[in-house]
Amino acid sequence: MKPTPDSDATVPLNTPLLEEEIRVKCLHYFFNGIELNDMGKATRIVDWEKVWNAFDGNYATDGKVPGNVPKLQFKPMKRLGECGLEPDGNFIHFPLFRLGTLCDTGCADEDVIEVVLIPRPEVMDKKFFEKMSQLVVAACGSDNSSWADGDLTWACEWDLYTFMENIVKPNKAHIQLVMGLSDELTERVVHSVNYAIVQWNEDAYDDECEMKFHEAYFTDEDYDF
């Protein structure tokens, strides 16, 4: 069998896939809302900066950071399949991956199907995380997903591990001061905010309480999610 970017990491990303792999992958992603070309990359053309800027958050600060709040710092991206600050310093590199390729150490470069560039934020507050939730659904959700209803199915992966390590964790003090969180809630955010991002509008509790996941996640220290 001829090696491909998926079967051999030494094969360049621009190597065309075998005809059978093209057929299977294109069908798989087409039915989930993302069609791939013969190199395994997304064919859709999206202005993700425009999409990001169009998202509206309900929990915004006034956009001003008090003098006692550290400025946001992001670790640089060092490879294609890693979240991090772009070399120009103006965007966060946010790669998307083939469905099913996320493992406990992240995702491989050869599984990248698309890269989203997020404008570098000045404030990391609840509005930021709400917009991240909207972005993840817009970029990774299948065509029938509804962010507002919390009814989601997925068409591709995002690397929550390098997002947490390179984007969120370096800004622990900033997050706590801007959002006014307790030490316990701050620890929760810097270690598991990916749960809030993907479950934002799901019901928080199994009973008849109408509270959403994000409402409990950022406020209830005893919330068992």
Same domain, 146 and 211: yes
The number of distinct structural domains making up the chain is: 2
Same-domain check for residues 64 and 74: yes
What is the pTM assigned to this prediction? 0.81
Q: Alpha-carbon torsion 134, 138, 139, 145, what sign?
A: positive
Beta strand extents in the chain (DSSP E only): 84-85, 91-98, 112-119, 156-158
Residues 91 and 194 in one domain: yes
Question: What pLDDT shows up at residue 13?
Answer: 47
State the pLDDT at residue 86. Answer: 97
- C-alpha–C-alpha distance, residues 182 and 185, integer Å: 5
Residues 175 and 194 occupy one common structural domain: yes
Domain membership flag for residue 13:
yes
Q: Per DSSP, what are the bridge partners of residue 168?
A: none
The verdict on 30 and 55 lying in the same domain is: no
Confidence (pLDDT) at 24:
46
Q: Do 100 and 185 belong together in one domain?
A: yes
Q: Is residue 34 domain-resident? A: yes
| Contact (CB, 8 A) for 71 and 65 | yes
For 125, the domain range is 46-217
- pLDDT score for 103: 78
pLDDT of residue 99: 84
Tell me whether residue 2 is in a domain.
yes
CA–CA dist 39, 116 (Å, integer): 18
**Is 1 found in the same domain as 62?**
no
- Pair (20, 100) in one structural domain: no
- What is the signed CA dihedral for 156, 157, 158, 164, rounded to 10 degrees? 160
Please report the pLDDT score of residue 3 as a whole number: 42
Tell me, yes or no, whether 212 and 152 share the same domain: yes
User: Do both 76 and 136 map to the same domain?
Assistant: yes
> Residues with Cβ < 8 Å from 140, sequence gap 6 or more?
96, 154, 155, 156, 157, 158
Contact 92, 105 (CB under 8 A): no
- Per-residue pLDDT, 197: 95
Residue 52 and residue 121 in one domain = yes
Residue 224 placed within a domain: no
Predicted confidence pLDDT, tens digits, the chain (225 residues): 444 444 444 444 454 545 555 444 444 444 456 787 878 788 888 999 999 999 876 665 555 677 789 999 999 999 999 999 999 999 999 999 988 888 776 788 888 999 999 999 999 999 999 999 999 999 998 877 788 777 778 889 999 999 999 999 999 999 999 999 999 999 999 999 999 999 999 988 876 677 899 999 999 999 988
CA 149 vs CA 12, 23, 166, 192: distances in Å: 41, 33, 30, 22
Residue 222 domain flag: no
Specify whether 107 is located in the same domain as 143.
Answer: yes
Q: Assess if residue 84 is contained within a domain.
A: yes
CA distance 149 to 173: 32
